[in-house]
Amino acid sequence: MFRCVRSLCARVPYATLFAHNMVLQRVFEAPADKVALRVELPGAPAADFTYGRLQRDVVALADTLAARRGALAAAAGGAPLDWLQAPRAPGVRSVFAQGERTPSCDVLQDTGFYTNAVMCGPGYAYAVALLGSWAVNQLATPMSVAQRYNDELMYVLEHSGARSIIGETKLLQEKFPAEYEPLYVRSAKDVTCVRKDSRSSGAFCAVTQSTFLVDSVYDWDSLMEERALACTRQAEKMELLSVEEIGIDGANDTLHTADDVVRRIEAERAALRQKEKEHLISLLFEGHEAQNAYMDGTTECAADMLSFDSEKLSELNPVFRRWVEDPQTKPTKYDDCLMIYTSGTTARPKGAVHSHASVTNMVRVLQDAWEWRSTDSILHVLPVHHVHGLVNILLCSLASHARCVTTKFDDPARVAHRLEQGDITRLHGRADHLHEDHRRCKGPLLAH
């Protein structure tokens, strides 16, 4: 009985680790079986991704990032967590804030040491790359899939000083030259494989004209394929062990008589009844926890959230383990969160850095102004590397526990017919997009 209570008390939701980023925390508070993202790309079957899968993949990517950065830090002779973003001093304020505190531009020097560039198209991989970076408090820098390396992309990498690139296989092959090949992380084996020229300095990587400060290129598709294969093998192993052996005294004794057989059967039945009793007690305590959460007005039950065992902290990556063991080291909402670059159409791309607090503020303002609901479904047709496609649509949808349907705006007629299916409650886009959709669609747009 006491073992059941102890097991329940040891479960800690991952959401408790992410108070620095409202969107990330909301994702980990969402119902696991609800669809978070639906990807509908021309020529490919539609795919649904639940909040539960999103949570698990974000943790998996965070584990990979932590292991890789730790290996690079160790190779450079540094401490395992030297790569983490340093907290802001208490007296530092935003350049836009009021007061007598020191403006951040006077004291903060962002060298890109904790910056991850994201090279993913609209869809699931992009969301995981973004949230996975924030899970270990890295500055995420979305890159445009429409830009060319020799023009805009190499400038963004040089200007941001990004140490890592997270991308989809096809885009990485199309956008980046062969010089990046030795930096690829495609499997668990590659995570701890460090180049010799990465050991020379505290920056973990030698500056070159071809790869700048980048020391790691995470191939999203290959990493997820390896993880899926590992999960399949584990499931097959568990299936073989589905008939659980019940431990009883004298289980290995030789059976000589019929009485021995009867005693063995009775002992096994008694052990089975005990296990059923313990399972029933466990269910009762889980029901009690759920009832208390409901009575307290909690929107989600902690027992249903993705959780870790506080008595097995060694199973956490070193970043999460540090935050649990020393809560004062947790990141704050004032840390760097997102760097958005302009398109570079009229001049070189210009980057603007947002803190977790400013991203949270944008999302909350839009949630209130546009009355987002968890029952909403929004059709996403905008570029994801700009504020409108990223914050106005994707982040608002995730923070609201809504459903985001991602597709390309390559054919107004196809998009208009998609709206006619009746499951979309919101659509945001450029004025010319909306006008064309409205002209082709039989009924009025539900939201704009």
The pLDDT assigned to 447 comes to: 46
The pLDDT assigned to 111 comes to: 74
For the structural domain made of 11-33+51-90+105-190+211-231+271-363, what CATH number should be given? 3.40.50.980
pLDDT along the chain (448 residues), means of 10: 49 96 98 97 93 97 97 92 84 72 72 92 96 98 93 91 96 96 95 70 51 95 92 74 51 66 75 67 51 42 79 95 95 93 79 93 97 97 92 98 93 88 88 52 47
The pLDDT assigned to 349 comes to: 82
The pLDDT assigned to 225 comes to: 93
The pLDDT assigned to 448 comes to: 44
The pLDDT assigned to 110 comes to: 65
Tokens 């490919």 locate to: 44
The pLDDT assigned to 430 comes to: 63
